[in-house]
Amino acid sequence: MTHTTSVLRTRGLRKEFGKATGLVRAVDGVDLDVAPGEMVAVMGPSGCGKSTLLHLLGGLERPTDGEIRLAGCRLDQMSEKALARLRREAVGFVFQAFHLIDELSAVENVELPALLAGRSPRAARAQAIDLLERVGMADRAGFLPSALSGGQRQRVAVARALSNKPLVVLADEPTGNLDSAATLDVLQLFGSLHRAGQALIIITHDSRIAATAERLISMRDGAFVDETRTMGLISGNPGAFAGLEG
């Protein structure tokens, strides 16, 4: 696969921390191609570089070496201002720690990316309410994060990540704080995004979640060590989600 058919592409991607004898190579020469609408799961032991990789792919950290192309743009060569704009318009982030703004209600958190991207307040609010409905949180739209459970906050975070209809959704343990029923809801939402043509890269420790992806990549010591094509439950048979319950 070449970059002309990839929404996200890396070559020789490397990220190092520390100096001299304390040098840690968190990401070590990663090559990755993700097609539009493809869902990729990345698994590996704690400390193997998965989260650092996700931060690099989303432009949250700068690589030590190598290239990253998102929608044809070289992230590793962009100015901070241009990079921030591309992140806002093309990438949706979902983190296990939520990263919601405590002073804003659920609906205000979800509409914020759209407002920052220049959408009108009316359009941003209408879209935010629709997204909250899709993740089962419409009845909590006016609640502050402190009044929500961990699972509810993650649903709000998922809705926020979708605010600008990103080309790529990057998710770091997105269902880590959810029970089985809520996990099913979020995966079904990801499934609808996937079928609509959005690419998803999900870091997970849960083999059930990984089984829903089309491609499973195993990572160790900063490098990809194995890649498997899966049955792709999300893209194939939505009814297969029933196996995730309980």
Q: What is the pLDDT of residue 233?
A: 53
Q: How many CB atoms neighbour CB 24 within 10 A?
A: 12
CA distances from 218 to 36, 41, 112 (A): 21, 9, 34
Q: Which amino acid is at 216?
A: L
Burial of 107: CB neighbours in 10 Å, binned 0-12, 13-18, 19+: buried
Q: What is the pLDDT of residue 232?
A: 58
d(CA 219, CA 87): 25
Q: What is the pLDDT of residue 141?
A: 97
Torsion over CA of 83, 86, 90 and 92, rounded to 10 degrees? 50
d(CA 87, CA 101): 18
> Which fold would CATH assign to domain 3-238?
Rossmann fold (3.40.50)
Q: What is the pLDDT of residue 185?
A: 74
Residue found under tokens 């502050």: 144
Task: State pTM to two decimals.
Answer: 0.85
Q: What is the pLDDT of residue 201?
A: 95
**DSSP assignment letter at 165:** -
The phi and psi torsions of 228 (rounded to 5 degrees) equal: -130, 135
Q: What is the pLDDT of residue 71?
A: 84
Mark out the alpha helices in 35-144 (DSSP H runs). 50-57, 80-90, 106-116, 121-134
CA distances from 127 to 115, 158, 225 (A): 11, 14, 40
d(CA 210, CA 108): 31
Give me the residues paired with residue 67 across strands: 11
| pLDDT, averaged in runs of 10, over the chain (246 residues) | 71 88 88 92 91 93 94 90 89 88 97 92 95 90 94 88 90 82 76 79 85 90 89 49 47
